[in-house]
Amino acid sequence: MGAAWWLLPPAVFLAGWQALAARGALNPLFFPAPSVLAGACVEMLKSGELGAQVGATLLRMLLGSVLGAVAGLACGLSMGAVGAIRRSLEPFISALNSTPKLVLLPMLMLFTGVGETARIVPVALTSFVILAMHALDAVRGVNQAYVELARNYGAGRSALVRRVYLPASLPGIFTGLRLAVGRSLVITVSIELVGARNGLGSMIWMAWQTFATEKLYIGVIATATLGALFHRGLQALEARLIPWGSRAERAA
Amino acid sequence: MERHVRLRCSQLGVTFESVHGPVRALDNLTLETREREFLSIVGPSGCGKTTLLRVLAGTLVPGEGEVSRIPSPSDPNQAVLLVSQERSLFPWMTVLENAAFGCEMQGVPRRQRESRAREHLRRLGFAGRERAYPHELSLGMKQRVAVARCFLSDPAVMLMDEPFAALDCERRLHLQQALLDLWEQNHKTVVFVTHDVEEAILLSDRILVFSRQPGRVVAEVPVRLPRPRASAVTMTEEFLLLKRLVASKLGLYAGWSEVTA
C-alpha cells in the first residue's frame, strides 16, 4: 500500500495537464496532451523505433560502464592495497574526475575517427574514475579493529583480503557502482546528442530539429525511466549481495 | 601444585601520543599467567587494561619490555586470542561463519568447523539463529558468539576485555554462568579484564588490582572459592570478605578504612 504513494504526484500532474490540454489552454505544438504522448509512444513501440533507440543507448552505456567499472575497480583496489600505486595514480585520477568527459569527445574522434570507440571511451572513463575513487575510499575506510581481530585469529594476507578487506569495502564499492551507472547514462545520452546517428540522445536532437515535439518528450521520459530503473535494480541487487549493509537494515 | 607459566610480560611500558601530549598507559608492568588459571584484572576505567590485552594479544607492540609466550609440555599451542568489548564480530559474516572463523583460519574443513560451531552455539543457548547477521542480534548474543569463537579456536590463552560490560544485570549473570560452565570443561588459561569486582571474584582464581593511569599492579588477591561455581556463591560470607578486600584495594567505597587480610 505505502509503496504506491510515489505514484500520486505524477498522477495529479498528468491529470491537470490532460485537463488543461482538453480545454485547449495549451498549445499542442509545445505541450502535447499526455494522451497524445501515450499514443505516440505506443506507435513508436509498435514500429520498433523506440526499442531500437533505447537498445542503442543501452549498448553503448553498458559496454562503456562495464569496461570502465571493471578497470576502475581493479585500479581502486590496487591503490588501496599498495601505497606506491595510490601515490602515483591518485593525482591523475583526481584530475580526470574533474574533467567533463564530454570534452574528450572531439579529441577522441581525432584519434580514432568518428565511430563507436570515440563514443564509448568517455562513458568508460566516467565509470572508471568513479569506481576507482570509491573502491580506494572503501578499502582505506575499512575499520582497523576488524583487521586486528582477523590477524589475532591468524589471518594471513590472502585471508585478510578475502574475508575482511573485500566484504568490508563492498558497501562503498556498491555506492560507487550506483553513481557510475547513473553518470554513464548521462554521458551516453549527452554524447548521442552531439555526435551519433542513433540512441535516445540522437533521437531527442533530431526531434528538436524537426520539431517533432512528441518524440522530444518521449525521448526525455525514456531516458529518465531508464535511469530510475537502473537505480532501483542496483538497490535490489545490493540488498541481495550485502545482506548485512545499512540498506538491508533499514528495509528489515 | 606448581603450574607452568603460559604468558609472561616483564617491565612493560606503553606511551600514546595524544593531542595533549604523551599519555602513559602502562608503566613498568610485570605479570605472568599460569596454565589452567583464570586471572582477572580489575581497575578503574582508563587504567590501561585494554592496552595491556592488546599487548598480550600481540596486536600492539609495547614501547618497553617484552611479552613471552611459553609452550607447556602438555600443550605446545601458543595462540593467544582476544575477545574484545566491541566490534568483536565481523558484520558481513553470519553467526555461524563468525563462530567458525578461528577454525577457518586454522584450515579446518567447512563441514567439520560448522558442526563444531553449531555445537558450541547450542551450548551457549543459541540454537536456531546461526544464519542471522550480527546486526540482527542483541549485544549479549553477539558476545556469546565471540566467546564461542574463542573457545572453538582452542587457544593457549584467552584474553577477554570486559565482554559483558554493556549488558544489563540479568543477561550478565546468564553469560557469566555460561562462561563458568564452558571453562569448567577445559580450564583454559584466561586473562579477564573487568571493572566489576563481583564479576572478577566470581570467575577467577586470582585477581590483580590495577592503579589509575598509568596502569600498575597495586595488589594481588587469590580467590580460593570452591569450583565449580555458580552465581549463588556471591551471597556467601567468604565472597563478601573478598569483595571488601578488592574494593578497598581499588579505593572504592569512600569511608571504608583499608581491610587488611
Domains along the sequence of chain A with CATH: 34-251 (1.10.3720.10)
C-alpha–C-alpha distance, residues B60 and B66, integer Å: 11
C-alpha–C-alpha distance, residues B38 and B223, integer Å: 10
Total residues belonging to chain B: 261
Residue B208 has φ and ψ, to the nearest 5°, of -105, 130
* ipTM metric: 0.83
Kindly give the parts of chain A with pLDDT less than 50: 247-252
CB A131 within 8 A of CB A125: no
CB B145 within 8 A of CB B89: yes
Substitution target in A142, A144, A152 with the highest count of B β-carbons within 10 Å is A152
Residue B56 has φ and ψ, to the nearest 5°, of -65, -35
Q: Binning pLDDT at 50, 70 and 90, where does residue B2 land?
A: low
DSSP string, B13-74: EEEEEETTEEEEEEEEEEEEEETT-EEEEE--TTSSHHHHHHHHHTSS--SEEEEEE--BTT
In a 10 Å sphere around its CB, with 0-12 CB exposed, 13-18 middle and 19+ buried, how is residue B107 labelled? Answer: exposed
Give the residue-averaged pLDDT of B13-35. 88
Question: How near does any CA of chain A get to the CA of B109, in Å?
Answer: 15
CB contact under 8 A, B84 and A243: no
Give the residue-averaged pLDDT of B130-142. 89
Pairing of the two strands B157-161 and B217-222: unpaired
Substitution target in B105, B150, B152, B158 with the highest count of A β-carbons within 10 Å is B105
By Cβ distance, the residue of A152, A170, A252 closest to B59 is A152
CA-based nearest residue in chain A for residue B101 = A153
What is the residue-averaged pLDDT of chain B?
87
Q: In the prediction, which pLDDT does B1 show? A: 52
Lowest mean per-residue pLDDT among B90-99, B239-248, B251-260? B251-260
CB B56 within 8 A of CB B20: no
CB B126 within 8 A of CB B144: yes
Among B residues 119-138, those touching chain A with beta carbons less than 8 Å apart:
133-136
Percentage, residues of chain B above pLDDT 90: 39
All cell numbers assigned to A24: 485547449
CB B256 within 8 A of CB B244: yes
Sequence-separated (6 or more) residues with CB below 8 Å from residue A112: A118, A121
Task: Name chain B contacts of A167, Cβ cutoff 8 Å.
Answer: 90, 92-93
All cell numbers assigned to B67: 611479552
Find where cell 574528450 sits. A104
Query: Is B224's Cβ below 8 Å from some Cβ in A?
Result: no
Return the closest-CA partner of residue A202 out of A119, A79, A146: A119
pTM (predicted TM-score):
0.82
Size of interface A-B (CB pairs under 8 A): 54
Please name every residue paired with B221 in a beta bridge, in sequence order, or none if there are none: B207
Angle between helices A34-47 and A213-241 (to 10 degrees): 80
- Tens digits of per-residue pLDDT, B49-93? 889 999 998 888 898 988 888 887 777 778 889 998 878 899 999
By Cβ distance, the residue of A148, A154, A167 closest to B59 is A148
User: Which residue type occupies B146?
Assistant: A
- Tens digits of per-residue pLDDT, B190-239? 999 998 999 999 999 999 999 887 888 889 999 999 989 988 898 999 99
Return the closest-CA partner of residue B82 out of B35, B46, B49: B49
Query: Is B82's Cβ below 8 Å from some Cβ in A?
Result: yes
Enter the DSSP assignment of A238: H
Q: In the prediction, which pLDDT does B74 show? A: 75
Pairwise pLDDT comparison (B21 vs B104), residue with the higher score: B104
CB A77 within 8 A of CB A132: no
By Cβ distance, the residue of B57, B105, B135 closest to A155 is B105
All cell numbers assigned to A117: 570507440
Return the closest-CA partner of residue A130 out of A206, A82, A187: A187
Pairwise pLDDT comparison (A220 vs B1), residue with the higher score: A220
